[in-house]
Structure 1
Amino acid sequence: MAEAALIDYQERDNWNDFVASAESATPYHRFEWMEAIETAYGHKPYPIVVKQEGKIVAVLPLILMEQPLTRKKALVSLPFCDLGGAVGAGVHVELLTKKARELADSTAARELEVRQREAQGMGFDFDILASEVGNQKVSMILELEAGSEKQMAAFKPKLRSQIKKAMKNGCTTELGNNEKLVEDFYHVFSRNMHALGSPVHSKNLFQSICKAFGDQAVVAVTYFKGEVAAGGIVLKNGKNAAIPWASSLSEYNRLAPNMLLYWEFLAHCADNGITTFDFGRSTFGEGTFRFKKQWGAQPYLLSWKNWIEQCGTGTSAPGKIRPMLESAWRRLPLGLVNVLGPLVRKHIRL
């Protein structure tokens, strides 16, 4: 008989074995994501599974977040990324849903936010999609070729020339998973967040994620004449990979370091058995959407819902006060926002 239950870190490997073999699971479903968030920010994870004959057959990763001023609690699957949600057969998902709602009651959580993605892509007829989709959020996913040579050959000539432009300009990229690369990535990322007027994640979060994921995490940094120009992090699970963070410094845009950065990630994945690359969340038709579209990625509709109230959540339009806050944040010194930012960012689910 199948039963839903909470598990602890002792079953981490069993959880990951299931997630690695599940077609709909993402790198964010791995136990390491919950583990790293608890290590860096102290948010408590609640991993729910369904077991049948002692074997895990479905999972739902949840993290409890509490607003520091209002003390309002929310269970989120999952914070700080695009996706989470239940993985498993429909009958088992019903058990997970019931258990999650019971957990929300027992933890006094007022929201049960679950971030999921449609199983089928929306196709490539972007003109028709523009009128149907509007400004909804989508994941942009590329099906990779078997090897980097085939992947490069599959790109349109204009895209190949942009990648080669960065190489001709003298940009080089280093891939791995070590403290120096995380430090160099954060150099770019923190400056970009400051320029956007957005509180930055703590460096400790990225260090914790890379440590927890081990060889399932790849950090890439693109350099120009020894200076950091762009950086990103890719996480892997089974045959799937996702890029939750990537940034480049505007003063190097003329050299196209971001094109080389993404290419090196794609080449690494194609050469190491990854078949699906998730470029991450974008608003349909906007700038980041167009950037990802040029690589051949297909949109998949995202759905963030509150399982308690059965209504959409997390996708409302920003209020009028947001541009004012962003402008004020940009005027603060970088050193100060890198200290204050993580204290704020840890409580923002996005």
Structure 2
Amino acid sequence: MPDTFTLSQLGDNLQECKQWDAFVDNTATGTFFHLTGWKRVIESVYGHRCHYIYAKTGQDIVAVLPLVEQKSLLFGHALISTPFCMNGGVASDSEEAMLFLEQQAINKAHELGVDYLELRYPFPRNNPQLTEKCAHSTFGCELAEDADKILAGIKKKQRAVVRHSLKNDLNFRVDNDTQTAYDVYSESVRNLGTPVFPAKYFDALQSEFTDACDVLTVEKDNKAVSSVLSFYYKGQVMPFYGGGLFEARSLKSNDFMYYQLMCHAKNNKQCDYFDFGRSKDDSGAFKYKRTWGMEPVALHYQFHLVKAQTLPNLSPNNPKYQLFIKMWQKLPVWLSRRIGPLLSKYLG
């Protein structure tokens, strides 16, 4: 491994953060989730320690790696790139620089005494010190040039569902209404038995990413029934936190929501690609996304065990969480919003 790399850790210096983000913007493997805004959001909302490291050759950044330390008596101690995000790992155009930062991450994991290191790569790696686990897949599609062609590109059966939704007198708006997004999302995930994030998390995302973040809300008779918080980056739209109330199923308002988001992203955000995000393999969300005609692409998450003896399994499909999920589904929504943030900060 060359000796020309120097290691640095990102602080709060604005110029340093701008240099990091400019590198991410101009690197093929740089994603929205590598941006320094996530460091500020995670530190301010969750209080986790961030260890954002980067490699330089001379004065030039050649690789970046966002790392976040999560420590919980219930869920363990981990170093992750990056929690609350579907992608992470090293962003670089240089294999040597990637290996250099992966080794630095392994060193940091041992120094901190974590249970494991997790690097959320969307592509395979060839590092013998890392163990791959492909348990999630991502979905996406190119966006056609107008609304009619976008609709025509949806798989036939799902296209019929969207057409049905268009007859249900639904309205939608796009704005920065993170409160409504949170209200709908929190009830939706309660119904799934999942602890919800704090409301201030959605506010922080909107404040940090401004024009690269918005909310699309679907209403029926002036009542919000579905809502999604989305990100925009490098010509892609990413509906990241979306959900619907109980009546959303009969109204097909979630289907309406995603179709309208596709059209909005194409017409108003100049996006060419719809990134439907990750889902646990063979889960309900996984099967739903396939109905749109999108095929799964495996995510190649990499692990290095430090104190842990086996790879982590925080999936809702883990049998040991089934009783907890059933109990959570019975909680009043207001109580789930109160307790949820105490747990979700370790489940990103």
Query: What TM-score do you get using the length of structure 2 for normalisation?
Result: 0.86
Q: Which residue of 2 aligns with 1:58?
A: 63
1:264 aligns with 2:269: no
Q: Which residue of 2 aligns with 1:174?
A: 173
Q: Which moved more, 1:96-105 or 1:203-212?
A: 96-105
Counterpart of 1:299 in structure 2: which amino acid? P
Per-residue deviation at 1:64? Answer: 1.0
Q: Which residue of 1 aligns with 2:127?
A: none
* Partner SS state of residue 268, structure 1: helix
- Distance (Å, rounded) in 2 between the aligned partners of 1:256 and 1:203: 26
Counterpart of 1:231 in structure 2: which amino acid? S
Q: Deviations over 1:33-70 (max 9, x none)?
A: 22211111111221111222322221111111111468
Choose which of 9, 21, 25 in structure 2 pairs with 1:16: 21
Q: Deviations over 1:69-106 (max 9, x none)?
A: 68x53211111232211111211101111221232233
Q: Which residue of 2 aligns with 1:143?
A: 142
* Partner SS state of residue 298, structure 2: strand
- Distance (Å, rounded) in 2 between the aligned partners of 1:240 and 1:65: 29
- Distance (Å, rounded) in 1 between the aligned partners of 2:9 and 2:98: 14
- Distance (Å, rounded) in 1 between the aligned partners of 2:28 and 2:271: 12
State whether residues 113 and 313 of structure 1, in contact with CA within 8 Å, keep that contact through their aligned partners in structure 2.
no
* Partner SS state of residue 13, structure 1: helix
Per-residue deviation at 1:171? Answer: 0.8
Q: Which moved more, 1:308-317 or 1:193-202?
A: 308-317
More helix by share: 1
- Distance (Å, rounded) in 2 between the aligned partners of 1:323 and 1:311: 20
Counterpart of 1:9 in structure 2: which amino acid? D
Choose which of 191, 206, 209 in structure 1 pairs with 2:205: 209
State whether residues 143 and 276 of structure 1, in contact with CA within 8 Å, keep that contact through their aligned partners in structure 2.
yes
Counterpart of 1:247 in structure 2: which amino acid? G
* Partner SS state of residue 225, structure 2: strand
Matches within 5 A, 1:331-342: 331-342=330-341
Q: Which residue of 2 aligns with 1:6?
A: 9
- Distance (Å, rounded) in 1 between the aligned partners of 2:236 and 2:253: 24
Matches within 5 A, 1:1-350: 1-10=4-13, 11-68=16-73, 73-88=77-92, 89-118=94-123, 136-146=135-145, 148=147, 150-177=149-176, 181-271=177-267, 272-308=269-305, 312-314=311-313, 318-349=317-348
Q: Which residue of 2 aligns with 1:127?
A: none
Report percent identity of matched pairs: 26
- Distance (Å, rounded) in 2 between the aligned partners of 1:319 and 1:155: 33
- Distance (Å, rounded) in 2 between the aligned partners of 1:319 and 1:198: 13
Q: Which residue of 1 aligns with 2:130?
A: none
State whether residues 166 and 256 of structure 2, in contact with CA within 8 Å, keep that contact through their aligned partners in structure 1.
yes
Q: Deviations over 1:239-285 (max 9, x none)?
A: 23322211011223221111111112222222323233321222344
* Partner SS state of residue 166, structure 2: helix
Q: Which moved more, 1:35-44 or 1:269-278?
A: 269-278
- Cα 1:317–1:220, aligned 2, differ >3 Å: closer, same or farther? closer
- Cα 1:146–1:308, aligned 2, differ >3 Å: closer, same or farther? farther
Q: How many residues get paired?
A: 331
- Distance (Å, rounded) in 1 between the aligned partners of 2:81 and 2:169: 42
Gaps of 5+ in 2: 125-133
State whether residues 248 and 254 of structure 2, in contact with CA within 8 Å, keep that contact through their aligned partners in structure 1.
no
State whether residues 305 and 311 of structure 1, in contact with CA within 8 Å, keep that contact through their aligned partners in structure 2.
no
Query: What TM-score do you get using the length of structure 1 for normalisation?
Result: 0.86
* Partner SS state of residue 9, structure 1: coil
- Cα 1:154–1:26, aligned 2, differ >3 Å: closer, same or farther? same
- Distance (Å, rounded) in 1 between the aligned partners of 2:272 and 2:5: 32
Q: Deviations over 1:131-156 (max 9, x none)?
A: xxxx9421112233345554334334
* Partner SS state of residue 289, structure 2: helix
Counterpart of 2:122 in structure 1: which amino acid? R
- Distance (Å, rounded) in 1 between the aligned partners of 2:209 and 2:49: 18
Counterpart of 2:90 in structure 1: which amino acid? A
Q: Deviations over 1:283-305 (max 9, x none)?
A: 34443223212333232112223
* Partner SS state of residue 250, structure 1: coil
